[in-house]
Structure 1
């Protein structure tokens, strides 16, 4: 189970959504929440796709019929109870209670629940999961819908989670170790620093004392009644919702909910569900934290709102959120421009308005920078906010933001009937927990089409005056502590805040860029052959051979209405470089695609692409040169133009490369301070001892010496011959259009007549019995990696069995190391046999644990491996592996990305694409003996025992 630290406290590590139009939104009407003086408007609608109801006991339910994927229902149990409700003796027990629901309930004794679900193909962790945060707990269960018995069991499981955990003393004590190991995984620099500034984010708030993971001391010693009391107080139907979205009719799902949850009862004297918030404070608080193991330097600014979050109740409130989203888009477009400068003040930066904790929202600005650049990054963020405050945004910026906003809503609208259930169900979870609006894609798109033209730039520009203020403000700086590095002081931060308010800041200049990717189309080539492959079958494709020798293979699908995915490769890559040339360019290759394209810089490209959805990125790998991209069908020509230009007109852009090097230095300079990353680096060095082409983690000096001029020349060589490339397109392809575009933009590319392959390296990594101990870090935590590797003759049947062997072992490792020993939070095995560049195999076991348990858990792991060598897996475990694979494949068959990988891999590996049709047959044919055979062949030749231990 995953514990969710409050997402916005750790927003530096979250995906930033520029158009967060529904953050902290509500749909319930309440006059006291209306803005004073606003004109009333219609309440927001709720999408007609969902049925919302409430049982007499107060439990809310949401149901939507959705046929993608087929024969599956996504179930969620959402509870408005998290760590914020814990008493002093219950610290960490909201999350512990989540664990206990997987370890003994009325209908599933300890371990029976996971065992049953694995038996029907539901994977623990990947599918079956849960999370606990400050304010909520959510249980996640995908279940087959085409089997009435499995469906009934799914609802029975949800019912058990809602209030039927047994919470026996034995089960509680056995789970303590697992939760403590989860606690251990979170130890490190980020947690240590956060602990010191969380009370400033959550100013005078209970949130600062209720991190969901709890404390080690309380997890080890809490009384049994403490967790039982938490369950009794907060696991009650009037704080719960059941959400069911999937391939089953609404009436059947509603009947199941009524049958399974109507009998739940609320306590006779229920505790009030108190809301907690954070107080306002005068002036500016500053937190400056550094740590020897910090991997990066970051700057955060919070302008905290003084009042309650404004709820989104009406269409007008929703419109206000759209205005706010346009502001976010424009400020972040400006900040992105800074990150592309030759000497950027930060690796990346962004700003947005959103919730930070409890009842607090804030306008927030963030940047990640180099270890000496915190003040420069802070100054840039402050100046950009001040620039907008003084001058506002430009009309040209505004028009681009509206185009981008609308095109994203248009894509969602076009794909509205092709959304997977697991992407829909979360909306209703958040509607219940936070009352976020759910008007649906059609309403949102129609509203935007109608209302965007009426939104004035002055409305957007006015927002910043409310966002920025000198009080109730917080600045947080975090970074590495090391010799020779001066720590920023609070006085310096305050002085800079004051300085920027009166500094000379010029208005933003929005330079115009050309409106089209290519002003003139190239002279067309032609299609010389068209071949339909596997006609009428699931894997049907069409291959076009072009006049320059290039091959295009496409597959038309209806999985998404507004998606076309693209890939291309040609054999060779950097394997064709000499060792000397390779070492000169290895650290430069990543910066090649940062250059301008036919004179369009990355910043110019962003502007020119407003309102369009298309992307392409080239790369040079070890054994092939590649392109990858995607587009909306309406922007397919733009994608083809980009493909053409990456072959013919990628610029040599020294400024863009300088920016890339600067950001790489900032990102990589302290990354090895993290013990786990350092461990991986040392394992790589150990295995590659003597490798003349081993590069490893570059130092700043390595990056300075990277030969960009040579890398650029090598790029032009590798992309000089389009006739040696295979191109692949999968999605909503217009066949006539793709043929025309292929003739125009790909058949017109140069061909020198050569057909290359890759060079097979002569070096082989270490294999067999080896031992490596790495000492790094101050926390009492270790990492274990056991790996078997070597050369072999590739065999597709062995590769299939080897992969299944790893999955069978993963089941046993969880049972043994987690459930029996209580020594790990997670453990797993991976196994693969590769064909390129030569036949090789790799099998590994990895897990984190306490240092004192390393030897014991390694011995237990090797004992499980030996059982597979001696006897193969159990019938039950092999059956679980087969069912999980088949259930996963059923979903994959309706995904464009899956088919793109299948088609490309068949050519790249020179394998039979018809194997995809035999997948079910081949998986069902796997036997215990097959797995035992590969275990005996590959896991008896000695292994690498690599262990990370804390410093002595």
Structure 2
């Protein structure tokens, strides 16, 4: 249910310059000496007399819903030595008993109104903050009032009973257990150097096992009393509700919290500077991946973005990141790539007070020094020669294109995507000027930014002091360990090496050099119930359009044709399975991936072909202005996909680097062994990818079979959903799809012959040294299809999840998370699939398996309670209400109708089918399918 800041997540979230939402007029610096970034007038910001800050915005998407947040400006960094892990523990306790909601009552109530535990109701704790997340219906006054009561209780009405505290210890200890492993062990070695000399090095939010087992009741109560104070909190409310109503709710619920007197100061903890280069090298026998990271921490503390000059500096840094990453992307796609991926960015560290420039790469186990050399060399190349104007011109186009898309959709943005900006404004003073202001200001400022000032940033970013280099990866026999001396020598080598200037090669301006002779549209039909138009083209292809107003600047695309790899022989399938992913790596129309990246600057369109067992497919999207580019790409994938052995080998090299030590990870090893067991005797099962399987793959055959699968456009069905213009799509369809070959093959897929064993089996895998286990209980059976069974199977998964959380987590305290899932598939045979899975301690496996199966038996014997059935139905109906207003839902539904040969009522009658679902339907499915013939797979630690 909870999430926490981790190193990798922090790094990825910090990439580039985050564009916030904005509105206002750019004022001339001639009349105002220091022009400040305005605050979006669409958001109301206020402070109560007790010091609590609030943000309110009316936003109608989705309808009848408000996103609520409670942000507490305190996290694990505020803990005393006796409180390690208690900021996060306190977050848990807010879901386990408050003044108005006794233990379990909160989750029970929210489930009854369609708010799912974990998926909707959530929270996270990091070093510096704790944030609670609550979406609530806004069309019912009682539900809305309860929502504000919940976040008020979180703020100052947690009961913290001794019984509840002791009951939650087990859950949090299970969460800590989940984190055990190679990554955690290596982080313990690297973090003290990354966060050298700071409090952050020993305040990980999860805390320590010793303290979580032994802290006193007063320790957690003291943390709550000390830091949950109104002047350290903000309430954010964004959604489909009048601003005045929301403001009054906040005043009513939070205005009565007493102001703090003599509260402990909320310190900002420093990240000290250091003269030397710190090097941390950590390896572990269970590490699956290798990574190198160069961090140049700023000498000065981070300052908030306040003025337009600050905003402009952010744009300069964003452009720098895009330019260097374009170059690293080219290296990644080179014939002999030095890394699986690499990127650089300027942004935050664990510490709020310090920013850093970082360059990161994932490499092969043997290639850490090669990856490090590549990163150092590209930074040094910029330092010596800077960037080139062509690179900057393309980067500016890309920034404007992305920002223009956000601007065009400014009245269609979901509340859940807005609310986080206001949380960040409170916690870290990130500006919130509004998209209108930002769009106009960015366009104006980009014209003033020169290639020289971007290039000069490298001299600010990289320096010999405050530098930290970390290398993490596997430890195994025959793999030499990288030493600090090697790293230091490599730094000196690169600084004194001959490095040539970057060569920026231009690409052609048109994607298709010779336009094909167009085809025609032979018929057009409409389905008024679904709101679709379907054109049949002269080559037999079909194009279905659904125009929506959900987004102004979005068109989604999919296509499929029956057949897929089911038409391959067993030998062909095994020879090509892993090669198929490398086919698109050569590019299209004579353009490489690097060429395509340059060509697409300023354009928003993407297309990916892919093969499945039953069909050949496309997936993509485009801004309406770039829809023709999407059509052109589709045409080229049919007619002119490149064949390039070097590009393919580059792909294989990266895949082998990624997979080289994968099986050292207990979870991947477990999945591989379970897959092999369940597919015993299946001649078409390829299993987990391995370097050896890539070596044995046949690129020539894969390419030939791909061309064969895409030789006939006439049996494809193409779908476009979003802000589409029917006349425009018709014109593009005639030009780029109807002009493709139509062979009238009308192929069908060959149904899968293999069936998994329908017998009881207990399968135990021993792998790993940590005291952690994983349990999977699975039922699978061929059956006949009907809609009622399908819905009941899914609902059974939802109901059982509710009961398992109550039993295994809340009552037993034996798991952090547990879930059940049921489905009924029609492709390529009607397949009932049901599973229960959870992680736990090895000593609790037998007890928890028995408890889980007892819940299954209880449903089979006693059925489903009316309360649980009502929760599931409400969850389904609330979710569908939102789904109906999204392009992705309609795209998936329309494709599914045709792929699974359903009639439109499958979509249109959903609400009726939900309401008609009975407890007996669910019980019957459990009785019929959840028998004694289940597969029990258990991951256990290695025996010592």
Name 2:5's counterpart in structure 1. 5
Name 1:57's counterpart in structure 2. 50
- Is 1:798 matched with 2:789? yes
The unaligned stretches of length 5 or more in structure 1 are 28-33
Name 2:235's counterpart in structure 1. 242
**1:690: Cα distance to partner?**
0.9
Cα distance in 2 between the residues matched to 1:683 and 1:822: 27
**1:21: Cα distance to partner?**
5.6
Cα distance in 1 between the residues matched to 2:857 and 2:538: 57
The one of 639, 646, 659 aligned to 1:655:
646
**1:13: Cα distance to partner?**
7.0
The one of 676, 695, 698 aligned to 2:686:
695
Task: Write out per-residue CA displacement over residues 164-211 of structure 1, whole angstroms, 9 at most, x where no aligned residue.
Answer: 100011110000000000111111111100011111111111111100
Cα distance in 2 between the residues matched to 1:284 and 1:409: 38
- Is 1:302 matched with 2:295? yes
> For 2:849, what is the secondary structure of its paired residue?
helix
The one of 258, 262, 265 aligned to 1:272:
265
**1:766: Cα distance to partner?**
2.1
**1:866: Cα distance to partner?**
0.4
**1:266: Cα distance to partner?**
3.4
Cα distance in 2 between the residues matched to 1:277 and 1:21: 27
Name 1:769's counterpart in structure 2. 760
**1:697: Cα distance to partner?**
1.6
Contact between 1:105 and 1:160, CA under 8 Å: does it hold in 2?
yes
After superposition, residues 386-785 of structure 1 pair within 5 angstroms as 386-533=380-527, 535=528, 537=529, 539-785=530-776
Name 2:333's counterpart in structure 1. 340
Cα distance in 2 between the residues matched to 1:701 and 1:212: 40
Name 1:859's counterpart in structure 2. 850
CA distance 1:289–1:12, shift in 2 (3 Å): farther
> For 2:601, what is the secondary structure of its paired residue?
coil
Contact between 1:902 and 1:913, CA under 8 Å: does it hold in 2?
no
> For 1:720, what is the secondary structure of its paired residue?
coil
**1:360: Cα distance to partner?**
1.6
- Is 1:951 matched with 2:942? yes
Cα distance in 1 between the residues matched to 2:581 and 2:757: 27
Deviates more, 1:694-703 or 1:334-343: 694-703
Contact between 1:345 and 1:380, CA under 8 Å: does it hold in 2?
yes
Task: Write out per-residue CA displacement over residues 28-58 of structure 1, whole angstroms, 9 at most, x where no aligned residue.
Answer: xxxxxx9xxxx94311011111000010000
Cα distance in 2 between the residues matched to 1:531 and 1:453: 48
Cα distance in 1 between the residues matched to 2:437 and 2:129: 29
Name 1:868's counterpart in structure 2. 859
CA distance 1:329–1:682, shift in 2 (3 Å): same
- Is 1:101 matched with 2:86? no
**1:653: Cα distance to partner?**
1.3
Contact between 2:20 and 2:435, CA under 8 Å: does it hold in 1?
no
Name 2:869's counterpart in structure 1. 878
Cα distance in 2 between the residues matched to 1:289 and 1:17: 24
Contact between 1:21 and 1:318, CA under 8 Å: does it hold in 2?
no
Task: Write out per-residue CA displacement over residues 542-600 of structure 1, whole angstroms, 9 at most, x where no aligned residue.
Answer: 10000000001110001000000000000111110111111111110111111120110
Contact between 1:3 and 1:95, CA under 8 Å: does it hold in 2?
no
The one of 286, 297, 306 aligned to 1:293:
286
Cα distance in 2 between the residues matched to 1:338 and 1:735: 41
Name 2:67's counterpart in structure 1. 74
Name 1:162's counterpart in structure 2. 155
> For 1:416, what is the secondary structure of its paired residue?
coil
Task: Write out per-residue CA displacement over residues 872-907 of structure 1, whole angstroms, 9 at most, x where no aligned residue.
Answer: 211111110000111111111111011000000000
> For 1:450, what is the secondary structure of its paired residue?
helix
Contact between 2:15 and 2:346, CA under 8 Å: does it hold in 1?
no
The one of 339, 344, 350 aligned to 2:343:
350
The unaligned stretches of length 5 or more in structure 2 are none
**1:655: Cα distance to partner?**
1.2
**1:456: Cα distance to partner?**
1.1
Runs of 4+ aligned residues of structure 1 deviating over 4 Å after TM superposition are none
Deviates more, 1:357-366 or 1:423-432: 357-366
Cα distance in 2 between the residues matched to 1:126 and 1:826: 12
> For 2:795, what is the secondary structure of its paired residue?
helix
**1:753: Cα distance to partner?**
1.6
Task: Write out per-residue CA displacement over residues 513-550 of structure 1, whole angstroms, 9 at most, x where no aligned residue.
Answer: 011211232111000010001x1x3x211100000000
- Is 1:85 matched with 2:78? yes
CA distance 1:40–1:328, shift in 2 (3 Å): farther
Contact between 1:532 and 1:540, CA under 8 Å: does it hold in 2?
yes
After superposition, residues 180-259 of structure 1 pair within 5 angstroms as 180-259=173-252
Name 1:31's counterpart in structure 2. none
Name 2:363's counterpart in structure 1. 369
**1:795: Cα distance to partner?**
1.2
Cα distance in 2 between the residues matched to 1:431 and 1:944: 50
Cα distance in 1 between the residues matched to 2:548 and 2:827: 29
CA distance 1:40–1:362, shift in 2 (3 Å): farther
Task: Write out per-residue CA displacement over residues 846-874 of structure 1, whole angstroms, 9 at most, x where no aligned residue.
Answer: 00000000000000000000011112211
Q: How many residues align?
A: 935
Deviates more, 1:168-177 or 1:693-702: 693-702
Cα distance in 2 between the residues matched to 1:395 and 1:269: 57
Task: Write out per-residue CA displacement over residues 138-174 of structure 1, whole angstroms, 9 at most, x where no aligned residue.
Answer: 0000000000000000000000000110001111000
Cα distance in 2 between the residues matched to 1:387 and 1:40: 38
Task: Write out per-residue CA displacement over residues 248-280 of structure 1, whole angstroms, 9 at most, x where no aligned residue.
Answer: 010000000000000112332100001102111
Contact between 2:15 and 2:347, CA under 8 Å: does it hold in 1?
no
Cα distance in 2 between the residues matched to 1:390 and 1:180: 51
Name 1:30's counterpart in structure 2. none
> For 1:14, what is the secondary structure of its paired residue?
helix
**1:940: Cα distance to partner?**
1.5
**1:757: Cα distance to partner?**
0.4
> For 1:190, what is the secondary structure of its paired residue?
helix
Task: Write out per-residue CA displacement over residues 439-495 of structure 1, whole angstroms, 9 at most, x where no aligned residue.
Answer: 111111101121211111111111110111111101000000111100100000000
**1:14: Cα distance to partner?**
3.1
Cα distance in 1 between the residues matched to 2:282 and 2:310: 39
> For 2:62, what is the secondary structure of its paired residue?
coil
> For 1:418, what is the secondary structure of its paired residue?
coil
Name 2:373's counterpart in structure 1. 379
**1:11: Cα distance to partner?**
4.2
The one of 283, 295, 301 aligned to 2:276:
283
Name 2:880's counterpart in structure 1. 889
Contact between 1:21 and 1:325, CA under 8 Å: does it hold in 2?
no
Cα distance in 1 between the residues matched to 2:646 and 2:13: 28
Contact between 2:20 and 2:433, CA under 8 Å: does it hold in 1?
no
Name 1:821's counterpart in structure 2. 812
Cα distance in 1 between the residues matched to 2:11 and 2:266: 30
> For 2:936, what is the secondary structure of its paired residue?
strand
